Amino acid sequence: IILAQKELQNVALGGTAVGNGANTPKGYRKIAITELAKISKLTLKPEPDMQFSLQSKFPVANASSALKNLALEIGKIANDIRLMASGPIAGLAEIGIPAVHAGSSIMPGKVNPSLAECMNMICFNVIGNDTAVSYAAQGGQFELNVMLPGMLKCVLESTDMLKNFLPIFSANLIDGLTANKQKLQENIENSPVIVTLLTPKIGYLKSAELFKESLKTGKTIRELVVSKKLMSNKEIDYLFK
């Protein structure tokens, strides 16, 4: 995003028709952009390639893409939180989330992942905006792309949504996450997949046998390993750390 932001600092003001600056008073570009930088308090400078700037809106599309990529990453985090917080009985219940409001008028005590869901919806909008920007970026013709207003609307909207909600998402959800250590430990103990960790100790074939026996009998890998005297509880504890 920072790199994309730098590309937006080049201003094509004074390019007139096709970037050749026809009929522009001498020195106008530099003076106008300097004043614009003072008013906006932004680091602005004249675009070095005026023809390119009028033809192509790549810098704007690139900024939109950077916002979309952020939305993809944050959206993935929100998805993980929703799944890990599901429960407490039928879901994973591996983490606890802050209760930011009453979860249900018919189910007392219900806690909804509302902030994660809101983050997801914002991410969906940002991704949609980027799609619109992408079409607009290739919608120009010859020396001019007149789709810039629509592109800017989408980019500014995406920026505002992320800027306004990310601090809320962080302070009211991320900072309040708690690990359900007991549940996590149970999941580890009850998962036959952890037999993979035993392979260096007891070998591949024996590990495979334990895996199948665990699935068939419902016994944990720990129970089977200890009962068969393959390893001690202390050794298993060290291995599972």
Q: What is the pLDDT of residues 104-119, one digit of tens each?
A: 778 887 889 999 999 9
| 167 domain-assigned | yes
For residues 161-187, give the mean pLDDT: 96
* pTM of the full structure: 0.87
42-93 pLDDT, tens digit per residue, is 999 999 998 898 999 999 999 999 999 999 999 999 999 999 999 888 899 9
Please say if 105 is a catalytic residue: no
| Domain enclosing residue 51, as ranges | 7-55
The pLDDT mean for the chain works out to 93
How many whole angstroms separate alpha carbon 12 and alpha carbon 197?
60
Ordered DSSP codes for 34-72: HHHHHHHTS--EE-S-HHHHHH--HHHHHHHHHHHHHHH
Is the same domain home to 153 and 44? no
CB atoms within 10 A of CB 82: 18
Q: Which of 53, 104, 170, 214 is catalytic?
A: 104
| 1 domain-assigned | no
The pLDDT value given to residue 21: 85
Is the same domain home to 63 and 172? yes
Is the same domain home to 165 and 68? yes
Is the same domain home to 107 and 137? yes
Judge whether residue 14 has pLDDT over 90.
no
Is the same domain home to 14 and 110? no
| 38 domain-assigned | yes
Is the same domain home to 114 and 210? no
Is the same domain home to 173 and 210? no
Is the same domain home to 70 and 168? yes
Residues 6+ apart with CB under 8 A from 237: none
Residue 232, SS3 per DSSP: coil
State the pLDDT confidence band at 193, using cuts at 50, 70 and 90.
Answer: confident
CATH assignment at residue 185: 1.10.40
Look at 76 and 202; give whichever has higher pLDDT.
Answer: 76
How many whole angstroms separate alpha carbon 61 and alpha carbon 132?
10
How many whole angstroms separate alpha carbon 89 and alpha carbon 123?
29
Is the same domain home to 51 and 71? no
Is the same domain home to 185 and 175? no
pLDDT above 70 covers a percentage of the chain that reads 100
Write the DSSP symbol of residue 141. B
Is the same domain home to 15 and 117? no
Is the same domain home to 192 and 128? no
For residues 204-231, give the mean pLDDT: 92
Total structural domains in the chain? 3
| 153 domain-assigned | yes
- Assess contact for 47 and 7: CB atoms under 8 A: no
End-to-end CA distance of the chain: 38
CATH assignment at residue 79: 1.20.200.10
